[in-house]
Structure 1
Amino acid sequence: VVINMSLVGQEEFHSLYPYMLSVFEAGYSMGRLMTLFSPGEQIGDIVVPSGMFGVGTVCSITLNGVLNAHGIPVFSRFGGLLEYRDWKPARFTAIINYDGTTLDPLEIFIKSGMTDYRGAVGSGNGQIGAGFREMPSSSRDKVLELAAELESIGLGGFLEVGYPGQDLREIPINEGRIGAIVIGGLNPMAILEEHGIKVSSRALSALIDYERLFPYTELTKRLR
């Protein structure tokens, strides 16, 4: 499983991690699983510094890998800010094409202070990170089947799957394709930035075994 890695001070995390859990609970996260690394542990080329935790969240690129493994080609178009109104996705308010940046678009939106997870979690009105994918229209039934299987093992990340050739949340779709909106993997950590905690996040940080992940509901117990 591909994860995003975020480094955060232990004291700050202990006091404010419930905000992160609220993003999971609201369904604005890439699945229900996460992982935690202690000081000195190395993940990819990142070593967790003293006094910090390494928090791993599932990267949405994992979905691409699953679809590709089942013979479904995936085109990642852009990452953006998805506006929510009354707990329902409405439209993208900002987008950055993946081929136009070397950084993950969500990292840019988070550091620019453009997200509104507090509003999305508190009132159902806010802006969260999401990605946009396109697949062949003939694959729609299989995509929905795989999405359900991923959801059952805690890796659900498909927010919406559109119909052949039809716009999805005001985004035009090319002929012969379907659009899909996937939830941003860094979403749970982004709300900590909104609460003034300095978080150093990097998307696509490492590949870890599925067994290293645990349900977000276990985090409180693991921090004791």
Structure 2
Amino acid sequence: CNFDLYSLKGLVPTNLAIINKDKFDAVIDVLVQMGKFPFLISDLVAVSDEGETLGNLKIAEGKFGIATVSNTIYDVILRFAGVSVTPEFAGLLNCRRYEPQGFTELISYRGTTLSPGWLFLKSGLTSVLKCLKTGYGKIITAVRSFSKYALDTVRSEIKIAKLKGFGGIVGILHPSSRQFSLPLRNRARLIVSAGLNHIAPLQELGFNPEIRVNEVFVEFSELKKVDKVY
């Protein structure tokens, strides 16, 4: 993955939902609504019809694919800035009046080959659409750790990313911070909304999407706002 934050060029990691074509209009309507979600990584998407290729994946007959930006874009951004980040947990974050309150569940990335965030979603534990509409709900988050000596660099890169249109940052925590009651470690932490939240309502509403997490990489130039995909 070679995305460059400063030029906005290169491949970005995505979460891909593959859905029956007869649900296209309903799916687009949901994603238009999700454009107002306050914890969105990016409001840009890439759409491919049956027979077309998205990244390196060909969309099957009778289906269409829609790719949204994964939260691992921040791993890429920080790696290019010389900061190594380590995935620690996926969590369910409880929100109240659109403000994060604390984790109700945490799954360690250690010892699992499946995406913990996808496990939360598949298990019916999320309420992303409810959070969007009412301010109350449970969303998926990712917890990354990094050297406390890189805090200034991380804050600077996140600030630039925000200016470039990226979002979803829940917190940048010093090791001494007790916010969110995470297990103690002598490392700083980045808490970011999972990119999966963007397409979570498709699962919550029963559209039964086939979801590929971080398997497909898309050129940033191919991404566009969802109301431009028609």
Match of 1:168 among 158, 179, 193: 179
Q: Does 1:179 align with 2:186?
A: no
1:1-224 matches, within 5 Å, as 1-175=12-186, 177-215=187-225, 219-223=226-230
CA shift, 1:45, in A, is 4.8
Q: Tell me whether 9-18 or 192-201 shows the greater mean CA deviation.
A: 9-18
Distance in 2, matches of 1:118 and 1:62, equals 23
Cα separation, 1, equivalents of 2:227 and 2:224: 12
Question: Which whole-Å CA distance do the structure 2 matches of 1:19 and 1:137 have between them?
Answer: 39
Give the Cα–Cα distance (whole angstroms) in 2 for the partners of residues 153 and 54 of structure 1: 25
Name structure 2 gaps, 5 residues minimum: 1-11
CA contact (8 A) 1:29 1:157 kept: yes
Q: CA separation in 1, counterparts of 2:164 and 2:103? A: 28
CA distance in 1, matches of 2:98, 2:167: 18
1:220 to partner: Cα distance: 2.8
The offset of 1:44, in angstroms, is 4.7
Contact 1:63 1:157 in 2 (8 A): no
SS at match of 2:140: strand
Q: After superposition, give the CA deviation of every residue in 1:87-123 in whole Å (9 maximum; x if it has no partner).
A: 1001111121112211111111111111011221111
Determine if contact 1:117/1:126 at 8 Å carries over to the other structure.
Answer: yes
3-state DSSP of counterpart to 1:108: helix
Q: How far apart, CA to CA, are the structure 2 residues paired with 1:28 and 1:157?
A: 4
C-alpha RMSD over aligned residues: 1.6
SS at match of 2:229: helix
Q: TM-score, normalised by structure 1?
A: 0.91
How far apart in 2 are the matches of 1:172 and 1:166?
11
Q: Displacement of 1:172 after TM fit?
A: 3.0
Runs of 5+ consecutive residues of structure 1 not aligned to the other structure: none
* Offset, 1:169: 1.1
The CA deviation at 1:46 is 2.6
- Name the SS for the 1:73 alignment partner: coil
- State the Cα deviation string for residues 191-220 of structure 1 (Å, max 9, x = none): 1111111111011112221111113xxx23
Looking at structure 1, the residues matched to 79 and 65 of structure 2 have their Cα atoms a distance apart, in angstroms, of 29
Dislocated runs of 4+, deviation >4 Å? none
Note the C-alpha offset of 1:11: 2.2
**C-alpha separation between the residues in 2 aligned to 1:209 and 1:118?**
28
Q: Tell me, what secondary structure is at the counterpart of 1:169? A: helix
| Distance verdict in 2 for CA 1:179–1:185, change over 3 Å | same
Partner Cα separation in structure 2 for residue 220 and residue 11 of structure 1: 18
